[in-house]
Amino acid sequence: MLLSRRQLLASSVAIPAFPAASNIRFAASGFIWQNEIEEGIRTAARFGFQGMEPFRQHILKYLDRPLDLKKQLDAAGLSLVTCSNGGNAMMVDFIDPAHTAQTIVDHVRFARDFIAPFGCRHFKINLGRRPSAPTSAAQLKTMADTLNRLGRETAKLGLKLAPHPHIWSPLEREPELRTVMKLTDPDFVFLVTDTAHLTLGGMDPVQIMTDYYPRIAAVHFKDTEAKYRGYRGPTPTQEEHRKVNLYKNLGAGGVDFPTIFQLLRKRGYQGWITLDLDPPRPGEGAIEENLEINRKYLRERLAVRI
């Protein structure tokens, strides 16, 4: 429930004064449950989320029967926010011209046959593996051209194409992001902005989300260690991530969520925010414990009804 005025005033932490009404909706990432999407649906509904956002590789058994999954979501009172690309039998290569045609064909098929039947409004995509050297100007041009072509096709399905800047992908650092945004058509190519990935990639999430607000199709929330607040160094490595999880529960201190949420509310954002966490590792608590930590943060620090 929304905190009362008395509770807000008594809190030791200042909370921005947001309007009570909001069309922002909150979802849980299906990635938390991996292949157990059915358990995820039940748990997400119990915690008050309004949607679920899985990855294609975890819902392969529903690829040919999306309406069976939709029935389960409908029964739980949840919407499918979108479904990320990837997994077997799908080309995900946006930087090699030799793979452009197949990448477009596979993504259009998935968008048409699986995502569109749910009534989704955007198609969030990852962009494949990062090349061994920094993404070159030619590769960024190929990426932009591919996104423009694919975005025109998904628009016919009522879906905004929304690439996701992600560490260890070809779209990781700020110059890469700004180049691709400059080279893509704002009518057909949008963004899913992830607070942790922008931070770990050396970007300021508030600045990026301010600069590209009209092109934000959806938002992912996750935190990082406090030492990454304002970080401008090299991207942490996958080896570092294997040793210590780079992705943290909300409130860890790496991301300025009150300022980001204030930006979204002031700009009248009416889309989805997905709590985009990995499944907990040993010593990181159970799934439901982490969901409660994040729900508490949303309620107490951001005054969100959930």
Could you report the per-residue pLDDT of 108-167, keeping only the tens digit for each? 999 999 999 999 999 999 999 999 999 999 999 999 999 999 999 999 999 999 999 999
Q: What is the pLDDT of residue 50?
A: 98
Cα–Cα distance for residue pair 265/188, rounded to 1 Å: 24
- Kindly state the greatest CA–CA separation across the chain: 62
Summarize the confidence of residues 164-188 as an average pLDDT.
98
Instruction: Taking residues 275-299, report their average pLDDT.
Output: 97
Residue 1 confidence (pLDDT) above 90: no
Q: Give the Cα separation of 159 and 96 in Å (integer).
A: 24
Domains and CATH numbers, the chain: 24-302 (3.20.20.150)
pLDDT at 22: 65
Q: Are 221 and 257 in contact (CB under 8 A)?
A: yes
Is the pLDDT confidence value at 3 over 70?
no
162-189: buried (b, 16+ CB within 10 Å) or exposed (e) per residue?
bbbbbbebbbbbbebbebbbeebeeebb
- CA–CA gap between residue 193 and residue 214 (Å, rounded): 12
| Pick from 165, 152, 216: nearest CA to 194 | 165
> The tokens of 59 are what?
């819902």
Given a contact cutoff of 8 angstroms between Cβ atoms, the answer to whether 252 and 198 are in contact is no
Q: Is the dihedral of CA 78, 213, 189, 222 positive or negative?
A: negative
The confidence score (pLDDT) of residue 147 equals 99
Is 71 strand, coil or helix? helix
Cα dihedral angle (190, 234, 203, 163), rounded to 10 degrees? 10
Is 194 a residue whose pLDDT tops 60?
A: yes
Calpha distance 186→276 (Å, rounded):
25
Please, which residues have CB within 8 angstroms of residue 200's CB and are 6 or more apart in sequence? 167, 224, 228, 231, 235, 236, 246
| Cβ neighbour number for residue 89 with a 10 Å cutoff | 10
Map tokens 């107490």 to a residue: 300
Q: What is the pLDDT of residues 200-245, one digit of tens each?
A: 999 999 999 999 999 999 999 999 999 999 999 999 999 999 999 9
Please determine, for residue 2, whether its predicted confidence score (pLDDT) is greater than 80: no
pLDDT digits (tens, 9 = 90+) for 5-49: 333 333 333 434 444 346 899 999 999 999 999 999 999 999 999
Task: Indicate whether 261 pLDDT > 70.
Answer: yes
What's the CA gap between 219 and 25, in Å, rounded? Answer: 10
Find, among 222, 171, 215, 170, the residue nearest to 199 by Cα. Answer: 222
pLDDT score, position 291: 98
| Model confidence, pTM | 0.92
What per-residue confidence (pLDDT) applies to 4? 40
Tokens encoding 171: 């779209």
Question: For residue range 53-104, what is the model confidence (pLDDT) as tens digits?
Answer: 999 999 999 999 999 999 999 999 999 999 999 999 999 999 999 999 999 9
Supply 180's token pair.
């691709």
Residues 6+ apart with CB under 8 A from 266: none
Token readout for 232 is 């401008």
HSE-CB for 114 with a 13 A CA cutoff: 25
| Phi and psi based region of residue 254 (left: phi greater than 0; alpha: psi -120 to 50; beta: remaining) | alpha
